[in-house]
Structure 1
Amino acid sequence: MNTHNDLNPAPVLRFGPYAFHVRQRLILQGDRPLRMGGRALDILQVLVERAGQVVSKEQLIARVWPTSVVEEINLRVHIAALRRALGDGGNGQRYIANVPQRGYSFIAPVTSDEAEAPLTPVAVPTHQHNLPARLTPVTGRDALIGSLVRQMPVCRLMTITGAPGVGKTAVALRVAELLLQYFRDGVWWVDLADLEESAPLLDHLLHSLATDLCTLNGRHALLVLDNCDHVRGACAALVETLLQAAPRLAILITSREALGVQSETVHCVPLLAIPKRSTLETVEEAMGYPAVQLFVSRARARQHGFSLRKQDLPGVREICRQLDGLPLAIELAASQIDALGLIGLQAQVENGLQLLGQGRRTAVPRHQSMAAAIDWSYRYLTAMEQRVLLRLSVFNTGFTLEAALSVISCADLAGSRLTAIIEGLARKSLLIQQPIRATVRYWMLNTVRRYARDQFECSDEKLDLEQRHARYLSRTRSASGRALVVEAVE
């Protein structure tokens, strides 16, 4: 499902303490919204609308995954998540019954009442868009995509940010597909990746859309500007102009850094969740994690008959962990499963980015390897930003600003200047910023660190920085030891 094709006003479906606002794809328990993935919501809608009937597993799969080939285990994982979210059986109330050899049935009483629909969808002819075709489904993003679809028609300007290879374009494309019916004049996609920095952005946009500013002024449409990183300043100015000139236009941006303009809503695409070691008890449990789901689906596409076994779980988890839960990196690694096997793949994935350089030849160049994806960001950094990023690769784990100032500072990179550059790299999604208690720690994704170390390998500064890092660690451990002794004496 997840296609929003029903143009009739949907009712609010009520059962137990819950109200399911179907059009808004929202479940309330009293005034509290429940967190629930998009697939689980799709399954719930099918079951609730047929309450008291048995819905076969085949029917559910056909309704929820109409364009994908999935196995029954996917359905069981989402049913289990749905039951947990509803507290099924926890207080004596049961909602979803498993009917052996037949399917599932929603067994609680359901009532309905009409809900106000804040969005009025309109039928849009299929030619009212220029969206590129997706070759594969988007894995593990249902909740995020559902949230963006609900917000986009009312916020006008939204920017999707995130690290290289995290899937910003894939998320934006799926959001655009689902919003086609809400924009009377369609959804229009413009990729700015190959645009020269000096090129006039407005002229490029109007030429791509075969229109003029006056015509655009009256359109009720969604404009998607993909890969705005390298023309961020010009894009910010263009967006402000368009929003003022075209009051019915909505704009969706993908960029590794927010535009920083007024009225901008920013959403960061997170890394795909990876199971902890303690949760590797069963294949079903591991398949509840999006990183594992993506690896398995791409491995099956590459190697006919691939099946995830319990003994494979530690290896698959380690591959996904080494690759940071980045969708592009996981897809590139899984594409080598037929040549290397799972054991060989796990061994090779620790060797750097070489393994992640054999993607689809039909993909855009920056998506054919992880090195290309990172390089696309790296080459648009200033010389000082590049230098800081490479020097920071000396840290194997997270670091504080204090540690960075102690280890990598030099005459022209010190104090507030170095701090500002590090904070800027975090805004550009090349560093991850994580508040911990009263301080802030930064860390690099493994893929970014490997890229930086490859670039830094022949630098004259490498040996000196490694020695400075070792001395800093020694001082830190020594200070920690003294603190423990003082604490014990006191």
Structure 2
Amino acid sequence: MLDIWRVAGVPPPVKETAVAEEFRFGPYVLSVPGRRLQHEGRPVPVGARAFDILVTLIRQGGAVVKAAELSEAIWPGEPISEGLLRVHVARLRRALEQDDLETSYVVTLQGEGYRFSGEIQQFDVAPPIILEQAPLTRLVGREDDLQEAVANLQIRGNVTLSGGGGVGKTALALAAAERIASEYPDGTIVFDFEAMSVWRLDGRQQDTLKIEDAYDSGRLDDMETTLAGKRAVFVLDGCEHVVPIAVRLVSAIRQRSPESIVIATSQVALGFDGEVVQMIDPLPVDDDGPAVELFLEEAAAVVGSNSFTDEEITATLEICRLVHGNPLAIELAAARVLELGFDGVLAQAEGGIDVLSGGRRTAHPRHRSMSAALEWSYAILRPADRKELLMLSRGKTSSDHAAITRLIFAGLVRRAGGAVSVPHLVQLFLREKDRNLYDRNA
């Protein structure tokens, strides 16, 4: 069940803080109690650990902070490897748009530690009001995608987030709704097409409407009537298996509530007039990129410690490469670290897809294993596209550009330059399907 309260913009409980620190350096303003970093008045997305590192270094006024001391300030009482600290320092530099180590605000002094380099101004400001509740949707490495989605909504009034299973379309849709919801007084209404239900907000009450009979009854007509005159954010999630219903709802929203906006998630384009399709790719995989950051954060939650060796960070990078930066696969793999260890997860991910299972019980069934996520994508394919996918998985080439485009939308093949390839996870999935078919026919 989604927590609509936060997404719909209903104010959660608040608290006041007696601390009022604000620092300015260059074009940036850092508000400590508000945990907010701004660049020329615009918010800068920065992770919690990276934010704490920045505050710690700034408070030292340019003095060198040893790596061990910085780790203790960020992760008090926990033995932390410097490799993990370097990951978050690199993420901070990236947030500050300063990858050049010689001109960066955050300077690394080999063998000594870290220091802040820049002119700092400190101000006393009135204590702000801080939301007690954290944002509903936390994203890693998706700020550019989020800004693009919000821009599409502001300019065109709709966006269809498209991409393969597990890339985070739903999370991104909810984050976009959360960011823009304050402009829409009727809040956010979420149509969940996997659970076949709708969540809506009536004052401060949460209501559920079943729509499983929408195909053969007048319930959809009734629902369309309730949409009239609203100024809301509509999220249509998981549209690929119910495209006709989704298109009908979009048409009804645009006709009956023209001041509303629509965010859809789908592995296929819905095809309505004026649709804006935004492709969502897997997370970038590099030494200090968001894929590694996500894995380490998920692993830390499982093992109860933020202390990782350099060898474990290296294994993390290899795991992320094997799963091609797919966020769901990363979360599922990280969940097995306590049981198998980093090397064990890596070994199993190289040879089979079973290790990528055991997701949260509260998750949709398709998000509890990579096999289920890929099966969801595979099920929408035409028979001819399935043959095309199998042919490509065996190293053959294809001239059916339309089929390849549909497979790319479903996240089952990738195109890099002029080459088309089938990712490792999809290869494992197809191998498992072949094995199951053989077993049934034996």
TM-score > 0.5, shorter chain as reference: yes
Q: 1:165 to 1:420 in 2, by over 3 A?
A: same
Letter in 2 for 1:185: D
Name 2:46's counterpart in structure 1.
39
CA–CA distance in structure 2, aligned partners of residues 190 and 327 of structure 1 = 23
Name 1:433's counterpart in structure 2.
415
Which region of structure 1 is more displaced relative to structure 2, 78-87 or 333-342?
A: 78-87
Name 2:208's counterpart in structure 1.
none
Letter in 2 for 1:404: S
Q: What SS does the corresponding residue of 1:253 show, helix, strand or coil?
A: strand
Deviation, structure 1 residue 14: 11
Deviation, structure 1 residue 189: 1.0
Q: 1:204 to 1:274 in 2, by over 3 A?
A: farther
Name 1:356's counterpart in structure 2.
356
CA–CA distance in structure 1, aligned partners of residues 224 and 87 of structure 2 = 47
Name 1:487's counterpart in structure 2.
none
Is the 8 Å Cα contact of residues 237 and 265 (structure 2) preserved in structure 1? yes
CA–CA distance in structure 2, aligned partners of residues 322 and 101 of structure 1 = 33
Name 2:19's counterpart in structure 1.
none
Name 1:254's counterpart in structure 2.
265
Name 2:126's counterpart in structure 1.
none
Matched, 1:263 2:241: no
Aligned length: 371
Letter in 1 for 2:408: A
Is the 8 Å Cα contact of residues 274 and 320 (structure 1) preserved in structure 2? yes
Once the two structures are superposed, the pairs formed by residues 16-415 of structure 1 within 5 Å of their partners are: 38-39=45-46, 76-85=89-98, 90=103, 107=119, 137-195=138-196, 199-200=214-215, 213=225, 216-275=227-286, 286=287, 288-305=288-305, 307-395=307-395, 403-404=397-398
Q: CA RMSD in A?
A: 4.6
Deviation, structure 1 residue 82: 4.3
Q: What SS does the corresponding residue of 2:285 show, helix, strand or coil?
A: coil
**Rg larger for:** 1
Q: Provide, for residues 410-459 of structure 1, a one-character-per-residue CA deviation record: whole Å limited to 9, x for no partner.
A: xxxxxxxx44323322233322233x3xxx32122211221122223477
Deviation, structure 1 residue 303: 1.0
Name 2:423's counterpart in structure 1.
445
Is the 8 Å Cα contact of residues 24 and 120 (structure 2) preserved in structure 1? no
CA–CA distance in structure 2, aligned partners of residues 300 and 41 of structure 1 = 14
CA–CA distance in structure 1, aligned partners of residues 177 and 266 of structure 2 = 16
Deviation, structure 1 residue 200: 3.7
Pick from 409, 415, 423: which aligns with 2:405? 423
Q: What SS does the corresponding residue of 1:85 show, helix, strand or coil?
A: coil
Q: Provide, for residues 201-255 of structure 1, a one-character-per-residue CA deviation record: whole Å limited to 9, x for no partner.
A: 9966677xxx653x53322110000000012244234313321332101000011
Q: What SS does the corresponding residue of 1:188 show, helix, strand or coil?
A: strand
Q: TM-score normalized by structure 1? A: 0.63
Is the 8 Å Cα contact of residues 302 and 335 (structure 2) preserved in structure 1? yes
Q: Structure with the greater relative contact order (CA < 8 A, sep ≥ 6): 1 or 2?
A: 2
CA–CA distance in structure 1, aligned partners of residues 188 and 118 of structure 2 = 37
Q: Provide, for residues 82-134 of structure 1, a one-character-per-residue CA deviation record: whole Å limited to 9, x for no partner.
A: 455387964xxx86789x99986862689xxxxxxxxxxxxxxx9xxxxx965
Q: 1:424 to 1:79 in 2, by over 3 A?
A: closer
Is the 8 Å Cα contact of residues 184 and 220 (structure 1) preserved in structure 2? yes
Letter in 1 for 2:421: W
Identity of aligned residues (%): 30
Q: What SS does the corresponding residue of 1:152 show, helix, strand or coil?
A: helix
CA–CA distance in structure 1, aligned partners of residues 298 and 231 of structure 2 = 38
Name 1:65's counterpart in structure 2.
none
Letter in 2 for 1:155: R
Letter in 1 for 2:46: R
Q: 1:96 to 1:443 in 2, by over 3 A?
A: closer
Letter in 2 for 1:168: K
Q: 1:182 to 1:310 in 2, by over 3 A?
A: same
Is the 8 Å Cα contact of residues 332 and 369 (structure 1) preserved in structure 2? yes
Is the 8 Å Cα contact of residues 185 and 219 (structure 1) preserved in structure 2? yes
Letter in 2 for 1:273: P
Is the 8 Å Cα contact of residues 300 and 306 (structure 2) preserved in structure 1? yes
Which region of structure 1 is more displaced relative to structure 2, 386-395 or 288-297?
A: 386-395
Structure 2: 5+ residue runs without aligned partners? 1-6, 12-22, 32-36, 75-83, 123-131, 197-210
Which region of structure 1 is more displaced relative to structure 2, 196-205 or 258-267?
A: 196-205
Name 1:485's counterpart in structure 2.
none
Q: TM-score normalized by structure 2? A: 0.69
Is the 8 Å Cα contact of residues 236 and 261 (structure 1) preserved in structure 2? yes
Q: What SS does the corresponding residue of 1:429 show, helix, strand or coil?
A: coil
Q: What SS does the corresponding residue of 1:240 show, helix, strand or coil?
A: helix
CA–CA distance in structure 1, aligned partners of residues 142 and 49 of structure 2 = 14
Deviation, structure 1 residue 144: 2.1
Q: What SS does the corresponding residue of 2:362 show, helix, strand or coil?
A: coil
Deviation, structure 1 residue 183: 1.1
Letter in 1 for 2:179: L
Is the 8 Å Cα contact of residues 190 and 205 (structure 1) preserved in structure 2? no
Is the 8 Å Cα contact of residues 91 and 289 (structure 2) preserved in structure 1? no
Q: What SS does the corresponding residue of 2:427 show, helix, strand or coil?
A: helix
Q: 1:26 to 1:87 in 2, by over 3 A?
A: farther
Letter in 1 for 2:268: E
Letter in 2 for 1:446: H
Deviation, structure 1 residue 304: 2.2
Q: 1:202 to 1:268 in 2, by over 3 A?
A: farther
CA–CA distance in structure 2, aligned partners of residues 322 and 355 of structure 1 = 13
Q: 1:95 to 1:330 in 2, by over 3 A?
A: closer
Letter in 1 for 2:373: A
Letter in 1 for 2:163: G
CA–CA distance in structure 1, aligned partners of residues 301 and 28 of structure 2 = 39
Letter in 2 for 1:166: V
Is the 8 Å Cα contact of residues 349 and 355 (structure 2) preserved in structure 1? yes
Is the 8 Å Cα contact of residues 353 and 429 (structure 2) preserved in structure 1? yes
